Structure 1
Amino acid sequence: MGTGTGAVDLSVVVPAYNEETRLGPTLDAITGYLTETAGRWGSWEVIVADDGSTDGTREVPELHRPGVRLVTGDRNRGKGHALRLGVAESRGRRVLVTDADLAAPIEELERLDKALSEGNAAAIGSRSVPGADIANRQHRVRELMGRAGNVLIRAVAVPGIRDTQCGFKLFEGDRAREAFGAARLDGWGIDVEVLHHFHRAGLPVAEVPVRWSHQPGSKVGPLAYPRVLTDLARIRARTLSRAHLLAAVLFLLMSVTLYSGRFFDPAHRYLTDSMQDQNQWEWFFAVTAHNVAHLHNPFFTDLQGFPDGVNLMANTVMLGLSVPFAPVTLLFGPALALSLCMTLGLAATAFAWYRLMAKRVVRHRAAAFVGASLAAFAPPMVSHANAHPNFVVLFMIPLIIERTLRLATGARVVRDGTVLGLMTAYQILLGEEPLLLAALGMLLFAAAYGALRRDVARAAWRPLLQGLLIAGAVCVPLVAYPLYWQFAGPQSYAGIAHGDNAGNSPLSMLAFAERSLIAGDADTANALSLNPTEQNAFYGWPLIAAAFAITVRLWDRALVKALAFTALAAAVLSFGQKIRIPLTDTVVPGPWALVAHKPLFESVIEGRVAMICAPALGMLLALALDRVAVSRDRATQYLGLLGVTLALLPLIPAPLKSTDRAPVPEFIAAGMWKSYVRPGESLVPVPLPDPGASEGLHWQTAAHLGFRIPGGYYNGPWGPDHIGIYGAAPRITSNMLRDVRYTGVIPALGKDWQTQAEQDFAYWKAGCLVLAPQPNDGALRTVLKKLTGREGTWTGGVWVWDLHKGT
């Protein structure tokens, strides 16, 4: 029996309104049962929550027994208000809510308690699942109304629950106090609202068959079901829209701040650390819009890499966004379109992670916001934000994860499998490598969680497999032709190598990225990464330490163990095929070697696998904050918030570096090139554009793709085996011009060089050569004079060699 003000093992909450007749026998039954089985239930209390009764409910003698308490409302507001009062006053580690008519006998508590002990957060009595025993049914009309109402409720609020209105429910105490405290409905619809709260938070609820007998005097009228659905929809829309709108606005502000150096003047600003990628991506958006406007093949173009062309599907042109953004590109230019795409896409990605975490991982939206902020704005994401929209615009990945989780429940396998197939097809048109990495992360998580929760794995594998097969059946026909073009079409290639040092150093997991506002270390970051766009780890030792502490503190939760395993496994895989032990010369084989040469994986930069850690670590932080939010211990709250703050503070990103963009020469911008380049010919920038210097692509977009160029910055085939390389297949003249550009050394140019140049110019169908001011341009000018036999013409800010005979 409960005494004093400390916690008890069980609280029984009974809402009452004008229950003078039934309340006494109900309290007799409850207190008698709990007294007789005291060793089973431990300490207990019974709370009667009176909802402003006008009869003698408050004077029922049984209310004065030990262990029974009365809480009263000032007036009649409804069952929901009474339950909020009663549950708020409860002190139990478990809370039973039962109606005053005791239609389900108190002895059925045994069944609910057993279900709660099996890992569920709530167990609700049900009249609609196999095993239920109904001794005295309601009137047939009322029963049919109840079934119809529950169909609507399942569709709108609590999928999978057959009977939401049986007034006999057992909850974990803290979960109950949180759910009822967050509820807003005053009527009997609070049952639906609370169960919806559990559903939204991803908390397991068991529906347990009970003995039940209809008691006369029900206060549920014919319009109750439509009214509760209306009230629930209204409250849900208001509360969710406010929280979600605030989160969306904050994510957008964060994204705009990150891109502030370019966002407000994209046409004249260049992201310094993007190297040549901004030129490349603007060209991708421009050529896609050009193909859409002229109804050309969206998978191929010869505007770059002329005359061989570029397999656009084999490059990351993100047709899923560049096509919808085509009107923006055509009206305002590719610089603005790309800037909007990356800024809005990053904010949308953060919001998608937020929705997933708020729905599936944590109950508190503030915790979900913090976790999503790390998932979307972690140092690897900020690094890729310089240059790789395919690794920034990831809003489909959380949606795919959430839909896969739905499949595992087996509720609507055909519908969810179909939607998953459509989502996957769209993600393929956004970026295949991020999808592959997401699938790898999901596989790591599923393996860990399935090993920990074999009961869940046994229940989920069959509907999950069925749904994935349906998804494949939907997805494959939609992407079959684009993938055929990618892997077997013109200018396709057989995979692309990134060298033997594309993995992360273990030290990079503990170090700080260059753009970390407080702790950024450019020298360390550059020494531990391929380049500023590939700082794929750099989570910082405070975050790693915090994640370790969270894992230890919440080790009892399978979700925490699975997330920790996923993050650790992804980090180790990202070290590559060979792992150098820090501070030693010892090199050991890495697990990535097992998949490095397998199809699809052979083209992956293995260091990017560490990006999987970002959402996993974000969810661990969110879980920690969620636990802190429900803690009643001030020291726990303070230390928890302090730990998360110290872990994240060093990672706050500084705005990306930007600089004024080099102006396009007047020769290009004013259209002077048109008198030098005839139909079917190309304009040849000197040296030819390549991954190291691709300003020629910017010239093309400034000229609205009016001319073709040889060379370029893209992935294409080389040699008889069609090995993938960056840029066009090299030719002798293009290699020589590039060497002169970087070294300033002029080779001995005889007749053979002139003959070779003529052949290469003919292969490129060159109408003219264009040399803009640049390092070693004097040496390049001398070389071109010797190759062509004449001096170029200075016009429009560039040197031009007209290659037409007789001119």
Structure 2
Amino acid sequence: MSVDLTVVVPAYNEERRLGPTLAALRDHLDLTYRGAWELIVVDDGSTDRTAEIAAEAAADDPRVQLVRGGRNRGKGHALRLGVLASYGRRVLVTDADLAAPIEELDHLDKALTDGNAAAIGSRARPGATIGAHQHRLRELLGRTGNFLIRTVAVPGIRDTQCGFKLFDGDRAREAFAASRLHGWGIDVEILQYFRRAGWPVAEVPVRWSHQEGSKVRPLDYVKVLAELTLLKARAVRRADVLIPLLFLALSLTLFSGRWVSPAHRYFPDSMQDQNQWEWFFAVTADNVRHLNNPLFTTLQNVPDGVNLMANTVMLGLSVPLAPVTWLLGPAVALNVAMTGGLAATALTWYRLIRRRLVPHRGAAATGALLAAFAPPMVSHANAHPNFIVLFMIPLIVERALRLCEGTRVVRDGVVLGLFTTYQIFLGEEPLLLAALGMLLFALAYAAVRRDVAREVWRPLARGLAIALAVTIPLVAFPLYWQFFGPQSYKSVLHGDNAGNSPLAFLSFAERSLAGSDATADHLAMNPTEENAFFGWPLAALAFAIVVRLWERTVVKALAFTVVGAALLSLGPKFRIPLTETVLPGPWAALSDLPLFESVIESRVAMVCAPALGMLLALALARLLSAPRRAHRYAGLAAVAVALLPIVPAPLRAVDRTDVPPFIAQGTWRTYLGDGETLVPVPVPDPGNAEGLHWQTTADLDFRIPGGYFNGPWGPDRIGIYGPTPTNTSNLLAHVRSTGRVPQITSAWREAVRKDLTFWNAGVVVLAPQENDTELRRTVDALIGRHGKWVGGVWIWDLRQGS
């Protein structure tokens, strides 16, 4: 005879309660349950009369069975034995204490009738009633443990541990057969199985009352977390370990030239940016150590200072890495940030692609590699960690996609707001470009699938509003300081020709296997701004992928994103290659808008990298499942041919210029009084920022005029790179670049005296460099006496007078 319902009761040392519990179950099922039922008691190695009581009940009623579990192994083991011994079309598991009375079965039964695969009795859902409470401390500990469990393991289910659950029988037997846990964690393990299988689970409010003698103790929640952690560790596949290690190995290889001796190696293609970024990490660590304002400093650009929030100091990394900076120096901290950040970026792209596009690990990993290690990213890896440490961007994309599902809008909106806040402290321009890319994708997807757009726009809009409500209060003051604080500026001047040439997309970057500086230099602003350069083979492959998979909406949207970002990156106007024809570009509509006016438009092409990575992952997943082996091999060969030319070579590194003993050995301290500044020759600027390296070597114990930063210029406070030029800085920079000593007049001497007084200069320092003889003669003439050779430099002690 078929069985409609099986009730499974795990029991350990329950002689006091088991008899009345079995009687209550039998009476209720006989009176109210119309179908055939069976009752299975699983004895989990009890040392009292539990097994005898169950055996007596089984002798009285053939519908009652006793299953012996041998020695005591835990509730999970007992439940597994009972469910696997069941035959019911539906299976109810209930604790022997009947904290949730059997009368609540009707509510769970209705939930399964409505189409759910399982119904969980819940004490936490609205409508639940709780009779006798536990001790307050015990209840608090239990709630805390349950919160941790549901947050970590089964988000969205409020009460995972209530022992009153009804399952579809066949699915329950499948899930319990696959289970591995012996203890209390089996509740979560089974729910996770149902969720992975896509089987709907309902959480039903029930009546519940604490029963004296409960076997669940508050510390058991800790055991559940431990069991789930161990289960997670066992479930990790080799590929899940090897793929992150692959990302890290590639990142280490890329930066290997600077890891050999971080403090003594320099990327020449970074120009002066490495000095700047190490200084940013050093000054942030110094501000943290001394509890100074992390948004401002006067260590550079004396006396006006530098608005650090208006410069990309990456507080989201430089602050947590402050201990590394203190212990190992800013060069190591920067290496950790860039190497680890790039690998983490690849990992989060991999995670997004696997969850949303293709389950195949190899296809997803290849797409993630293109997203994170594409030529534009490798170019920025020379100098711009804010454009390669993008691990938050895929997380933001994933959270926005969750908002579209509309299941947990408030929670996802809050998380999106927190993610966005953190990304602002990693880099605002990458966030702006990511938002632009997401907008291009959304517009294309909505145009193709208007039914989906109509369904998702409300939860998406609501979630975005919640995200803004979370973000704005958290970033209001830092952004106010950035745009209106001391040394703030309006926009950054970066020239009128900052867009990509169309030829750049078909060419190869300098550090790509098929590239060279000869092919890249005339198509990019500098080696750190090779923002396109995907190469013609990859462009051809992408076109073929789009044509082959055009029926998929996501492919259409990704293709639109690539083309749209590429066109925007051409700038306000661009020249058609091999002609003199100049056409207006779509960027002209955005170039004068707030925020966009400071963007180097060629960087918009970086949006293409993750979109191309996703297209590649989709194509590889299709290829790897192709039924014909010849098609698979031909497709994989085409992918290899397209990717091989853009495989990146390790970044070039050279020995760093030694810091003069005058600085490194602290001799400078003899020549500076309180508040006085050290003036390097020439005055530091974006073209010569070695003075910043001097400062970091000296633990930022002296201040300098000039420097390398973004700051205001002129009455309109237009943003420029470096300090506002002065007579002294202009003159010394001219001598260094030309090697010619001008005629020094009394007017020049007076102008330089005013600058030195404005800077409160204590000593002027000239290190050996190009045209240093001419520089020394110029400074001699300006100050009115000869310099003195001390500690490997020429110095002019200004305290001696003119």
1:436 aligns with 2:438: no
Check 1:689–1:770 CA distance in 2 against 1; reply closer, same or farther (3 A cut).
Answer: same
For residues 504-554 of structure 1, the C-alpha deviation after alignment (integer angstroms, 9 at most, x for no partner) is 11111111111012x112211111100000000111111111111111111
Cα deviation, residue 638, structure 1? 1.3
Partner of residue 666, structure 2: 671
Partner of residue 733, structure 1: 728
Partner of residue 98, structure 2: none
Partner of residue 511, structure 1: 507
**Taking every aligned residue pair, what percent have the same amino acid on both sides?**
61
| Kept in 2: contact 1:441–1:612 (CA 8 A) | yes
| Distance (whole Å) between structure 2 residues aligned to residue 334 and residue 279 of structure 1 | 10
| Kept in 2: contact 1:273–1:657 (CA 8 A) | yes
Partner of residue 596, structure 1: 591
| Kept in 1: contact 2:194–2:201 (CA 8 A) | no
| Distance (whole Å) between structure 1 residues aligned to residue 89 and residue 122 of structure 2 | 19
Check 1:155–1:516 CA distance in 2 against 1; reply closer, same or farther (3 A cut).
Answer: closer
Partner of residue 765, structure 2: 770
Cα deviation, residue 595, structure 1? 0.5
Check 1:645–1:432 CA distance in 2 against 1; reply closer, same or farther (3 A cut).
Answer: same
| Kept in 1: contact 2:306–2:487 (CA 8 A) | yes
Match of residue 708, structure 1, among 703, 709, 733: 703
The amino acid across from 2:504 in the alignment is S
| Kept in 2: contact 1:310–1:714 (CA 8 A) | yes
Match of residue 538, structure 1, among 533, 557, 575: 533
| Distance (whole Å) between structure 1 residues aligned to residue 713 and residue 640 of structure 2 | 50
| Kept in 2: contact 1:153–1:229 (CA 8 A) | no
Match of residue 476, structure 2, among 475, 480, 493: 480
Cα deviation, residue 264, structure 1? 2.5
Check 1:421–1:301 CA distance in 2 against 1; reply closer, same or farther (3 A cut).
Answer: same
| Distance (whole Å) between structure 2 residues aligned to residue 660 and residue 133 of structure 1 | 69
Cα deviation, residue 560, structure 1? 0.9
The amino acid across from 2:472 in the alignment is V
For residues 559-597 of structure 1, the C-alpha deviation after alignment (integer angstroms, 9 at most, x for no partner) is 111111111111111111102111111110000000001
The aligned runs of 1:273-292 (5 Å cut-off) are 273-292=269-288
Partner of residue 360, structure 2: 364
Match of residue 257, structure 2, among 261, 264, 272: 261
Partner of residue 658, structure 1: 653
SS at match of 1:313: coil
1:417 aligns with 2:422: no
For residues 651-694 of structure 1, the C-alpha deviation after alignment (integer angstroms, 9 at most, x for no partner) is 11000000001110011011111111111111000100111111
Cα deviation, residue 168, structure 1? 10
| Distance (whole Å) between structure 2 residues aligned to residue 582 and residue 463 of structure 1 | 45
Check 1:185–1:643 CA distance in 2 against 1; reply closer, same or farther (3 A cut).
Answer: farther
The aligned runs of 1:23-422 (5 Å cut-off) are 132=114, 196-197=195-196, 237-240=233-236, 242-422=238-418
| Distance (whole Å) between structure 2 residues aligned to residue 721 and residue 143 of structure 1 | 66
| Distance (whole Å) between structure 2 residues aligned to residue 186 and residue 685 of structure 1 | 68
1:629 aligns with 2:624: yes
| Kept in 2: contact 1:358–1:364 (CA 8 A) | yes
Partner of residue 443, structure 2: 447
| Distance (whole Å) between structure 1 residues aligned to residue 236 and residue 384 of structure 2 | 32
| Distance (whole Å) between structure 2 residues aligned to residue 650 and residue 453 of structure 1 | 36
For residues 766-787 of structure 1, the C-alpha deviation after alignment (integer angstroms, 9 at most, x for no partner) is 1111111111111111111111
For residues 707-729 of structure 1, the C-alpha deviation after alignment (integer angstroms, 9 at most, x for no partner) is 10001000000111111010000
| Distance (whole Å) between structure 2 residues aligned to residue 165 and residue 248 of structure 1 | 38
1:551 aligns with 2:550: no
Check 1:665–1:192 CA distance in 2 against 1; reply closer, same or farther (3 A cut).
Answer: same
The aligned runs of 1:787-806 (5 Å cut-off) are 787-806=782-801
Partner of residue 7, structure 1: none
The amino acid across from 1:246 in the alignment is L
Cα deviation, residue 480, structure 1? 0.5
SS at match of 1:363: coil
Partner of residue 64, structure 2: none
For residues 480-522 of structure 1, the C-alpha deviation after alignment (integer angstroms, 9 at most, x for no partner) is 01000000000000111211111111111111111012x1122
Partner of residue 684, structure 1: 679
Partner of residue 15, structure 2: none
Cα deviation, residue 127, structure 1? 9.1
Check 1:101–1:657 CA distance in 2 against 1; reply closer, same or farther (3 A cut).
Answer: same
SS at match of 1:533: coil
The amino acid across from 1:324 in the alignment is P
**Aligned residues between the structures:** 651
SS at match of 2:587: helix
For residues 456-475 of structure 1, the C-alpha deviation after alignment (integer angstroms, 9 at most, x for no partner) is 21121111111111111111
The amino acid across from 1:258 in the alignment is L
| Distance (whole Å) between structure 2 residues aligned to residue 402 and residue 668 of structure 1 | 49
Cα deviation, residue 349, structure 1? 0.7
| Distance (whole Å) between structure 2 residues aligned to residue 788 and residue 314 of structure 1 | 35
| Kept in 2: contact 1:687–1:741 (CA 8 A) | yes
| Distance (whole Å) between structure 2 residues aligned to residue 437 and residue 683 of structure 1 | 39
| Kept in 2: contact 1:185–1:193 (CA 8 A) | no
Cα deviation, residue 449, structure 1? 1.0
The amino acid across from 2:318 in the alignment is S
Check 1:464–1:485 CA distance in 2 against 1; reply closer, same or farther (3 A cut).
Answer: same
| Distance (whole Å) between structure 1 residues aligned to residue 747 and residue 756 of structure 2 | 14
Partner of residue 496, structure 2: 500
Partner of residue 694, structure 2: 699
| Distance (whole Å) between structure 1 residues aligned to residue 365 and residue 243 of structure 2 | 7
For residues 56-77 of structure 1, the C-alpha deviation after alignment (integer angstroms, 9 at most, x for no partner) is xxxxxxxxxxxxxxxxxxxxxx
The amino acid across from 1:594 in the alignment is A
| Distance (whole Å) between structure 1 residues aligned to residue 627 and residue 452 of structure 2 | 31
| Kept in 2: contact 1:276–1:694 (CA 8 A) | yes
For residues 247-286 of structure 1, the C-alpha deviation after alignment (integer angstroms, 9 at most, x for no partner) is 1111110100000000131001001111100000000011
| Distance (whole Å) between structure 1 residues aligned to residue 742 and residue 151 of structure 2 | 79
| Kept in 2: contact 1:307–1:710 (CA 8 A) | yes
Cα deviation, residue 242, structure 1? 3.7
| Distance (whole Å) between structure 1 residues aligned to residue 229 and residue 658 of structure 2 | 55
Match of residue 458, structure 1, among 454, 459, 467: 454
Match of residue 563, structure 2, among 565, 568, 593: 568
| Kept in 1: contact 2:763–2:795 (CA 8 A) | yes
The amino acid across from 1:697 in the alignment is L
| Kept in 1: contact 2:153–2:192 (CA 8 A) | no
**RMSD of equivalent CA atoms:** 3.6
| Kept in 1: contact 2:3–2:89 (CA 8 A) | no
What is the TM-score with the length of structure 1 in the denominator? 0.75
SS at match of 1:532: coil
Gaps of 5+ in 2: 5-86, 91-107, 126-145, 203-220
| Distance (whole Å) between structure 2 residues aligned to residue 193 and residue 765 of structure 1 | 67
| Distance (whole Å) between structure 2 residues aligned to residue 380 and residue 133 of structure 1 | 50
Worse overlay, 776-785 or 636-645: 636-645
Gaps of 5+ in 1: 1-17, 22-99, 104-125, 170-179, 200-204, 209-225
| Distance (whole Å) between structure 1 residues aligned to residue 337 and residue 269 of structure 2 | 18
Check 1:694–1:454 CA distance in 2 against 1; reply closer, same or farther (3 A cut).
Answer: same
Partner of residue 32, structure 1: none
